[in-house]
């Protein structure tokens, strides 16, 4: 089937969109969709003036939250959480160590490992934060255990342990509240 363009009133019918029922349209900030000169919203508005355009509320919220995360302490805490997740995911041995400590320190948690953060979607970043907070006691125990390991792993664990201080915990709680 040929892909429809938005140049004529009838081209949305093949994909099941009846313009008689269209009362609104919402997109993210991409010019191809939301542009008022040649974006999809302009072409739909020409054919269906009742379809008011609004910037996607979920996308607006995501942009606001990302801007709020520009506070240096919050940004540092998010970076540290992501670095810790990558540290564990890069080694099965380290991940197994964390999982054993999860069984000991967080037995009620259904989580088995950390999640890396998505750079653009706050909802996915928030899930990674919630998991980190839930597993925080096991993470500390695992890092303390592995800090005795020889070589780079032990050294990296000491760096993480020093960074996971009271300032980090405060920032973690602020991000969690958001």
Under 8 Å between Cβ of 9 and 3 = no
Return the ∠ at Cα 131 (arms to 159 and 163), rounded to 5°: 15
**pLDDT-flagged residues of the chain (< 70):** 1-13, 68
Q: How far is CA 157 from the centre of its chain?
A: 25
Residue ranges of domains in the chain: 9-55, 65-177
Q: For 71-112, how does the pLDDT look when each residue is reduced to its tens digit (9 = 90+)? A: 899 999 999 999 999 999 999 999 999 999 999 999 999 999
Q: What is the crossing angle of helices 122-146 and 151-163, to 10°? A: 120
Model pLDDT, residue 11: 60
Separation CA 27–CA 49 (nearest Å): 17
- Which pLDDT score, from 0 to 100, does residue 2 have? 54
Question: 126 to each of 11, 78, 89, 118, how far by Cα in Å?
Answer: 39, 10, 19, 9
Distance CA(21)–CA(112), nearest Å, equals 47
Q: Token digits for 22?
A: 């269209």
pLDDT, position 81: 97
How many CA atoms lie less than 13 Å away from 148 in the CB half-sphere? 5
């Amino acid at each position: 089937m040929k892909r429809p363009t938005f140049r004529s009133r009838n081209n949305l019918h093949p994909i099941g969109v009846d313009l008689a029922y269209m009362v609104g349209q919402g997109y993210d900030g991409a010019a191809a969709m939301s542009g008022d000169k040649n974006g999809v919203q302009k072409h739909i508005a020409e054919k269906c003036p009742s379809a008011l355009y609004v910037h996607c509320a979920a996308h607006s919220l995501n942009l606001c939250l990302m801007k709020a995360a520009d506070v240096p302490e919050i940004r540092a805490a998010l970076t540290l959480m992501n670095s810790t997740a990558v540290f564990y995911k890069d080694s099965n041995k380290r991940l197994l160590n964390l999982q054993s400590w999860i069984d000991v320190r967080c037995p009620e948690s259904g989580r088995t490992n950390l999640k890396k953060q998505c750079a653009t979607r706050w909802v996915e970043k928030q899930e990674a934060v919630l998991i980190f907070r839930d597993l925080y006691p096991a993470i500390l125990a695992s890092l303390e255990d592995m800090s005795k390991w020889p070589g780079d792993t032990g050294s990296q664990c000491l760096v993480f342990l020093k960074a996971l201080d009271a300032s980090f915990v405060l920032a973690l709680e602020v991000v969690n509240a958001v």
